[in-house]
Structure 1
């Protein structure tokens, strides 16, 4: 089974590692990525890494744009610092990087706080290499409501949010449903015309939490040709009491049954090391931290998912789809590829 994992293309749709890179930059450790994350990514067989730019609460208003651009710049400099990496803007770029034995980096925005209420800034983000975007995190932005406020507001996409969605499709930026509130998900599934991603989510029917997607939402993503990245590293999304590789595959099996094996990918959300280093433990607003440690904690743990899927009788073909084939199909079709326009 190690052979299958090693030979497959592995795409991770969500790893917040740039936050720790920035954290250690400011503490005199500019080589932290090479010392820690690069060996982890290699051990996990990761060929394609989507790097979300998340904006901590203290930056989410006046400082969001500046903080976003600084982190994007750090991703570009990371690729300059390590020849094993390359920032990619299209699926063709990714294919060349993987063929050369390099790790393909895809820049993403988690929450898009930097846009404020100015939809035109999505074009600026496209120019600096952003290729995947979600419009909200846990709370409310000027574009959409996150799932963390579903109990109090249930707002969907604002008019500016709908404008950003349309412009993303036109430019070839992949829409990310993860974190979006329930009405916002409905808005996107109604208005979207291109395949999209839920980069780091799971199944609400398996684990009932606001961050997971209902069966109808999962099917809606699949019907658009989209893909759900299973958030394998986040205990409350997988199973707070038993966040094991086996439970991750329970979500994968459920996804396959209600949507399609072609709609499943990996978006583990490896953020545990960041919380431990910066906060001394998990600290998520609106969530009571009472869960066990995840068995899938770092990229080097990813082969356990492959092993569990094989043990349950998934074919090699289906396993390779989940590990990266499905994610690459969406990235190939949408990332950096402007939508076709009608003739005048």
Structure 2
């Protein structure tokens, strides 16, 4: 099977696309058709069958405005699903995901990036789960009431706070998938010491290949694999992949490294498609401290570029079954095992 046919035939799961921020941006400019005009064609062109939709809270909302902003964006995702019911379906369980994919619709999964909405009230994880959140990370860049983000590794190496431990424990019990991306070093170790269920690194890459505080070391990758988890490679972020040569082949270098380190069953795709948001809203990237500037543009910059990863994997000698695992099969396993399935 050639690359194009294989990509079309495989189930493709993207564990990180910030598209809801750009949808909201255009909504506020009285252009509510942005999802239909831009993102839906992009998802179809990229063969995306399952789209995890993270809610990233911009800095100006991260204190008293976080909960309201989060709920408004969750409501927008629900309305997207209603408006485009023939093309997408909001999913609460792995079975929902399978049903959506079988019907030819894109399965949407709501996620929180940083969980700023929880603040210092762990009970809110239950509320957020009730309204459809199924994947959660506890920190973004910087500190929350729950944990330290990776950008603080040079100054603070705190693990999960008591509130963070309470939220993490509730997530495992509720069947909300934990996302380890963005946690600081101590937080990663804390989670891996406590975890009893498979988890995701929704958008990370390999520290052994690219020196970035956002990337995972080999020991961390192995421990994620031991739990049955998956590392989604952040193919669209040059400073995670290769600041000077962020090509599809370099993305495959990271895929290959995870496979060699922990096994082919523990690597997936979490590109982190956010370039269009930065270009539209700010006219270019605005980066937090500790990340390089002046990087080359990523070859995999939008969903329609995802077939380039399949082409590169086949060119590099990956077996077809292994390509299918990376494109989505591995992540589907985690979603089926955990998402919406309360622990015994």
Distance in 2 separating the partners of 1:75 and 1:135 = 21
Alignment of 1:95-244 (within 5 A): 95-244=98-247
Residue 299 of structure 1: aligned partner: 303
Residue 24 of structure 2: aligned partner: 22
Distance in 1 separating the partners of 2:159 and 2:149 = 9
After superposition, the C-alpha distances for 1:288-307 in whole angstroms (9 at most, x for unaligned) are: 32200000000000000000
TM-score, normalised to structure 1's length? 0.98
Distance in 2 separating the partners of 1:282 and 1:155 = 29
Does structure 1 retain, via aligned residues, the 8 Å contact 2:178–2:199?
A: yes
Distance in 2 separating the partners of 1:316 and 1:158 = 43
Consecutive unaligned residues in structure 1, runs of 5 or more: none
SS at match of 2:172: helix
Consecutive unaligned residues in structure 2, runs of 5 or more: none
Distance in 2 separating the partners of 1:79 and 1:197 = 24
After superposition, the C-alpha distances for 1:167-217 in whole angstroms (9 at most, x for unaligned) are: 000000000000000000000000000000000000000001000000000
Alignment partner of 1:85 is 2:98 = no
Moved over 6 A (4+): none
After superposition, the C-alpha distances for 1:124-159 in whole angstroms (9 at most, x for unaligned) are: 000000000000001000000000010011111001
Residue 49 of structure 1: aligned partner: 51
Alignment partner of 1:40 is 2:38 = no
Does structure 1 retain, via aligned residues, the 8 Å contact 2:230–2:331?
A: yes
Which residue of the other structure, out of 62, 67, 70, is the alignment partner of 2:69? 67
After superposition, the C-alpha distances for 1:266-303 in whole angstroms (9 at most, x for unaligned) are: 00000000000111100011123220000000000000
Figure out how many residues of one structure are paired with residues of the other and give that number. 340
Which residue of the other structure, out of 312, 316, 326, is the alignment partner of 2:316? 312
Question: Over the residues paired in the alignment, what is the CA RMSD in angstroms?
Answer: 0.5
Residue 335 of structure 1: aligned partner: 339
